[in-house]
Amino acid sequence: MLKRIDFYIIKKVLGTYFLSILMIISIAIIIDITEKMDNFYNENLSLNTIIMDYYIHFIPFYINLFSSLFAFIAVLFVTSKLAFNSEIIAMLAGGISFKRILVPYFISAAIIALFTFYIGSYIIPRGNDVRLDFESRYVDHIAVESTLRNVQFKVNANGIAYMERFDLKGEKGYRFSLDKFEGKKLVSRITATTIKHDSLHTWTMYDFMKRDFVGMREILTTGDTLKREIEMTPKEFVVVKNHHERMTNPELREYINSQSQRGRAGLNAYKLEYQKRFAMPFGAIILTLIGVSVASRKTRGGAGFHVLIGFALSVTYILCTLVSSSFTVKGGWNPIFAIWLPNIVYSGIGIWLYRIAPK
């Protein structure tokens, strides 16, 4: 059962958490405005457009990105103050174990973790859709959509399609081929110089060549046009900037599953984003354990020493997360291993610090 001291600590931690968010995000906005002022001026954007299309979505994105850091800062300051005022010593002397002292901290961390998970999985993706379009159009001046090249994927259980490039505007592809298999045996191959989308799953191939393999024989058919129903749409050849950041968890999971079934490569960024949304909230709990363990010892220097250690640990945690994410996207690491590795390492650090903390 929670006591008054528990509610006191929870209130202090959550209050400091949101106060640190307010302070740091305010500074981040000022810096961002300074960097993008010329872009806003040159594009003649109204204040309403800048706020409603960009900063209203910028704020939750960066809150979620650094939520674990904000939680860490809150725990450090609250615990350091309690330790400096000898309140932790008084609790230990009163028969309260250090393990019991951690309860309100973990409740606070759980609230922050759930908050982070929810906005990161369902709220922020919708905001990212608007924010990223704004950045592409007015800041980076690049197209939001581009087309994939050298795409190969399954169109059904027995068919594999390949296309060298695709023109989105004309809905026309170039150097197309469609292979049909029976088991592991290739039974037919259609190649075409161009292919054009007609309706939902109907495509017309131009200047085509069809090769049917029957036993040891090869039957060759050529022609100007050939209509076929192929289970693919023009959208499958389009890549949207930071597409994985624009989808909610259910959409992301469905996309990964559907594209994996079709044999599509290059899904690591999507898998990483999906795993990150589960791993990041745990960061608040892990860093809370580290923060309490570090800051619970009273020192002559006050909270400054604790803050220094805390920032060092939090920065290295964030760096580890960024490095492991980079290795996943560019180096082919397993997304589950890469994104959970920092949590595993820092969980070990947290447990070690907890064991040497005052009992």
Say what the pLDDT of residue 10 is: 94
Contact present, 50 and 135 (Cβ < 8 Å): no
Considering the domain architecture, whether residues 126 and 272 belong to the same structural domain is answered as yes
Q: Same domain, yes or no, for 137 and 158?
A: no
pLDDT digits (tens, 9 = 90+) for 294-313: 887 766 555 566 667 777 88
Closest among 184, 10, 249 to 112, alpha carbons compared: 10
Do 301 and 217 lie in one domain? The reply is: no
Specify the pLDDT at position 5: 86
Q: What pLDDT score was predicted for residue 275?
A: 92
> 211 has which bridge partners?
189, 220
pTM of the shown model: 0.83
Non-local CB neighbours of 163 within 8 Å, separated by 6+ positions: 150, 151, 173, 174, 175, 176, 177, 195, 237
Instruction: Report yes or no on 260 lying in a domain.
Output: no
Distance, in Å, from the CA atom of 133 to the CA atom of 204, rounded to the nearest integer, reads 33
H or E element in which residue 188 lies:
strand 185-197
With respect to residue 113, please indicate whether it lies within any of the assigned structural domains. Answer: yes
In a domain, 280, yes or no: yes
Q: Are residues 189 and 306 in the same domain?
A: no
Length of the chain: 359
> Which domain CATH number covers 189?
2.30.30
Q: Is residue 214 part of a domain?
A: yes
Provide the pLDDT for residue 307: 67
Host domain of residue 189: 147-236
In a domain, 253, yes or no: no
pLDDT in tens, 10-51: 999 999 999 999 999 999 999 999 999 999 999 999 999 999
- Residues 322, 224: one domain? no
Both 228 and 272 in one domain: the answer is no
- Which parts of the chain sit beneath pLDDT 50? none
How much is the pLDDT for 188?
94
The Cα–Cα gap between 33 and 36 comes to 5
Give dist(CA 4, CA 143) in Å, integer.
Answer: 56
Q: What is the pLDDT of residue 39?
A: 92
In a domain, 241, yes or no: no
| Count of domains forming the chain | 2
3-state helix, strand, coil in the chain (%, to 5): 65, 20, 20
DSSP string, 235-295: GGGEEETTGGGGS-HHHHHHHHHHHHHTT----HHHHHHHHHHHHHHHHHHHHHHHHHHHH
Structure tokens at 118: 């929810």
Which of 312, 293, 310 lies closest to 353 in space, CA to CA? 293
Looking at residue 302, what is its pLDDT?
56
Residue 303: the pLDDT is 57
Note whether 121 and 57 are same-domain residues.
yes
Model confidence pLDDT, tens digit, residues 42-75: 999 999 999 999 999 999 999 998 898 899 989 9
Tokens of residue 176, six digits: 């197309």
User: Which two three-digit tokens encode residue 51?
Assistant: 């706020």
Q: Give yes or no: residues 275 and 136 share one domain.
A: yes
